[in-house]
């Protein structure tokens, strides 16, 4: 049984580590074009095209920068060998070799598969200053990166599980 200090610490970690909320960080686009990207990405689709391809929750996270509830991702407890890819475009983002259990409720990695596969941007929403991670190919919101991860990088890429898919290592 956890005491009140442990409960308070746990709740603080859950609500601040990966921005637990399921609302967009900005007003949804009223045009047909996705308004979330400040940067141009190789894959550009309208909101309607994304909505046809993604589930409602995937669209909310990838295109509106939402966050899935902690401990709900099928990938959080997946320890199979393989590659995690962007669910929006298939871009290879993370290797299972870099995955670790951060205890935050979201899949966590200490490094990206290749630094060119991810773009970062400062996120100052909700009174916090964090570093957002996005797919460099389609601009989809993947999660945030923090400097409290394990060696060798000291980084923790905190990833929304609905923003990724998993490809098993071929046997």
Map out the domains of the chain with their CATH numbers: 4-22+29-168 (2.170.150.20)
Dihedral sign (CA 27, 58, 69, 120): negative
pLDDT digits (tens, 9 = 90+) for 13-70: 444 455 444 433 333 333 333 444 456 899 999 999 999 999 999 999 999 999 999 9
Active-site residue set: 158
**Which residue, among 164, 138, 28, 26, has the nearest Cα to 85 in the 3D structure?**
164
Q: Are 157 and 145 spatial neighbours (Cβ–Cβ below 8 Å)?
A: yes
- pLDDT band for position 171 (50/70/90)? low
- What letter does residue 33 receive in the DSSP assignment? B
pLDDT digits (tens, 9 = 90+) for 116-133: 999 999 999 889 999 999
pLDDT digits (tens, 9 = 90+) for 72-121: 999 999 999 999 999 999 999 999 999 999 999 999 999 999 999 999 99
Residue count (the chain): 171
Distance CA 95, CA 85 (A): 9
Residue 5, pLDDT above cutoff 70: no
């Amino acid at each position: 049984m956890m005491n009140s200090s442990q409960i308070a610490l746990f709740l603080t970690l859950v609500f601040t580590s990966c921005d637990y909320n399921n609302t967009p960080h900005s007003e949804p686009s009223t045009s047909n074009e996705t308004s979330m990207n400040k940067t141009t990405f190789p894959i550009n689709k309208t909101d309607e095209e994304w909505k046809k391809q993604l589930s409602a929750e995937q669209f909310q996270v990838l295109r509106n920068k939402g966050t899935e509830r902690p401990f709900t991702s099928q990938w959080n407890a997946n320890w199979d060998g393989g590659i995690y890819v962007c669910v929006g475009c298939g871009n290879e983002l993370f290797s299972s070799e870099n995955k670790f259990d951060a205890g935050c409720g979201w899949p966590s990695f200490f490094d990206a598969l290749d630094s060119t596969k991810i773009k970062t941007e400062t996120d100052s929403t909700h009174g916090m200053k964090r570093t957002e991670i996005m797919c460099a190919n389609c601009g989809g919101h993947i999660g945030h990166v923090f400097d409290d991860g394990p060696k060798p990088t000291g980084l923790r890429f905190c990833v929304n599980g609905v923003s990724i898919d998993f490809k098993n290592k071929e046997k």
